[in-house]
A = this chain, B = another copy of it.
Amino acid sequence: MDVIEFRPERDQYAFTFGGVAPVRKVQPGTMLQLWTDDAFCGALRDPSDMPSAKLTMPFVNPQTGPFYVEGAEPGDMLALHFVDLSPARDFGASSTIPFFGGLTGTDRTVTLQDPLEERTWIYEVDRDRRTVAFQARSSDLRLELPMDPMLGTVGVAPAAGEVRSSLVPDAFGGNMDTPEMRAGASCYLGVNVPGALFSVGDGHYRQGEGESCGTAVEGAMNVSLIVDLVKGGGPAWPRIETDDYLMVVGSSRPLEDAWRISQAGMTGWLSDLYGLDKLDAYQLLTQVSECPLANVVDVNYSSVTKVRKSLLPPADAYDGVHRRLRELGGTTS
């Protein structure tokens, strides 16, 4: 398997999906070994680092990429299988950012109240114990939490000639912020432009569902992934497959619309896999779906619909691309 390593220089950081020239061309079947900076561009390193002083809007959530996938045409499906995600720094950072987050007025849910206090937390990473350490600022409470590395942002260039901020997820993927984007997962994205032009970023060493305060345990990440391409059949919204689950991610507002997108996507997927009509698929989904939230903080919220494969008859989605990539990745790593 071809392997390409890439670590962007600061001036190569991409802050949009679309609108950026590709940094590399890659063949389907290639493994990429990437480094991606954290959402703060590494600017928060100490509890005294305040976002309002250290961040330069809109230059946050930098992406590594985009990569041009040879042969990818609009309508195809890009498959990205994450072989490994490993923290690239010894600390993660999280922060309350004025008027950003789920439990504060924002630039959309505008209120006249004063912002919440700005505060930064630094999480010490222990690679051996695979933990990140929460240290309360108002008390002595210190907790070691299991490390659970994920990528907040995975996406392709949007349709209709759009160029979109790396902060706002939509049908092209982007900043979905779901903890399901772990090593072992394959992410399926519909291709909108020749070459797909995908990028990844926003490493989280750990994140709860919903990403309440707006920032996870943000950290630079080493990412190993295998790129593949399925001709035709690109899904309207991002899908994720693991050994155990099928998933669809919807991103919109209000949150019920993000959920509806993910549910209708899964209804269609079940129909396709098992030859059910839409009502039977809807009924089956009603009894088997798991619905963890992803983010409730971005301009579009993201909701995940998951179905556990063990509840369903065996089926090879997309001719078994996940299983194939999983095996490839297993051999490699």
Contacts and interface: CB of A to CB of B under 8 A. Distances in A.
A88 interface: no
A114 B114 CA distance: 7
Question: What is the count of identical protomers in the complex?
Answer: 4
Contact of A280 (B111, B114, B139): B139
Contacts of A143: 284, 311-313
B301 A210 contact: no
Contacts of A289: 208-210, 212
Interface stretch (A22-30, A158-166, A320-328): A158-166
A21 interface: no
Contacts of A207: 286-287
Interface string A48-66: 0000000000100000000
Contact of A16 (B162, B212, B216, B285): B162
Interface in A268-313: 274-280, 282-293, 296, 299, 301, 303, 305, 311-313
15 contacts: A94-B286, A104-B105, A105-B111, A105-B113, A107-B261, A111-B260, A113-B113, A134-B287, A139-B276, A145-B288, A208-B286, A210-B289, A210-B291, A254-B255, A256-B301
